[in-house]
């Protein structure tokens, strides 16, 4: 398929994220740029680093980092169930801006502020500790992981229903550069038998 054909063909991306993950945040900034230059519909879903790492041997620092990791995905899931799918992306944007460029460590307070920013009821923050919708969190997580396997993390992106972990990018490409990376992702997703292309990261997330 040529680049022009890719540009003119409507596509669907299903994006699984945990609000805590800086790499998912970077990829989400890229796909936001893609939406400006390509005909693509993005559907947003939660996954959970806490669920992903259940039963695994973790180093002490990472274990502590996951101590309240269910809180943000619980709140996003409660917001989706009680107020509709359209609130997911704005709420993710508001939470992620605080967690990543903002560097906020007080996660519960940051999520509460994000709810206020997007006009959602303040009482949704109560779901930070509640397991009311944990079955739904786990179901969404399982849907994403089943597409790629257990040996990956977040984000998971499905390109017209063919899913991969990633792309992992930093800084996030902008404008037509973002569109060209999207074209490449569609190309490999449409290649039978393509599974993996990877190299070691040499820098951390760049929140520009």
175-207 per-position pLDDT tens digit: 999 999 999 999 999 999 998 887 887 778 888
Residue 184: closest CA among 81, 34, 69:
34
Residue 45 in domain:
yes
| CA angle (43 as vertex; 37, 44 as ends), nearest 5 | 115
- Over residues 20-78, the pLDDT tens digits come to 999 999 999 999 999 999 999 999 999 999 999 887 777 777 777 777 899 999 999 99
Residue 198 falls within a domain, yes or no?
Answer: no
- In a domain, residue 203? The reply is no
**Within-domain flag for 60:** yes
Within a domain: 10: yes
194 part of a folded domain? no
3-state secondary structure of 13: strand
Residue 1: which pLDDT band, with cuts at 50, 70 and 90?
A: very low
pLDDT at res. 9: 61
- pLDDT of amino acid 77: 99
Rg over alpha carbons for the chain, rounded to the nearest Å, is: 17
Show the tokens assigned to 161.
């229903």
Q: Domain for residue 29, yes or no?
A: yes
Q: Is residue 197 part of a domain?
A: no
Q: In terms of residue numbers, what domain contains 179?
A: 3-189
Total count of domains within the chain: 1
Query: What pLDDT was estimated at residue 60?
Result: 76
Residues in a beta bridge with 45: 16
CA–CA distance, 63 with 27 (Å, rounded to integer): 24
Please report, for the domain that includes residue 131, its CATH number: 3.40.30.10
């Amino acid at each position: 398929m040529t680049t022009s054909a890719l540009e003119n063909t409507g596509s669907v991306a299903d994006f699984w994220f945990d609000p805590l993950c800086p790499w998912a945040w970077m990829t989400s900034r890229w796909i936001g740029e893609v939406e400006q230059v390509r005909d693509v519909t993005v559907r947003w879903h939660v996954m959970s680093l806490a669920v992903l790492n259940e039963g695994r041997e973790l180093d002490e620092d990472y274990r502590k980092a996951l101590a309240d990791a269910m809180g943000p995905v619980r709140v996003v899931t409660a917001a989706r169930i009680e107020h509709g799918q359209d609130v997911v992306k704005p709420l993710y944007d508001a939470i992620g801006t605080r967690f990543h460029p903002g560097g906020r460590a007080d996660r519960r307070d940051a999520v509460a502020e994000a709810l206020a920013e997007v006009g959602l009821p303040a009482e949704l923050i109560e779901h930070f500790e509640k397991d009311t919708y944990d079955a739904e969190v786990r179901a969404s997580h399982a849907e994403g992981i089943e597409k790629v396997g257990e040996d990956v993390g977040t984000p998971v992106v499905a390109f017209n229903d063919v899913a991969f972990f990633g792309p992992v990018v930093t800084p996030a490409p902008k404008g037509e550069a973002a569109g060209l990376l999207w074209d490449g992702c569609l190309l490999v997703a449409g290649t039978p038998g393509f599974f993996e292309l990877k190299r070691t990261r040499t820098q951390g997330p760049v929140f520009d």
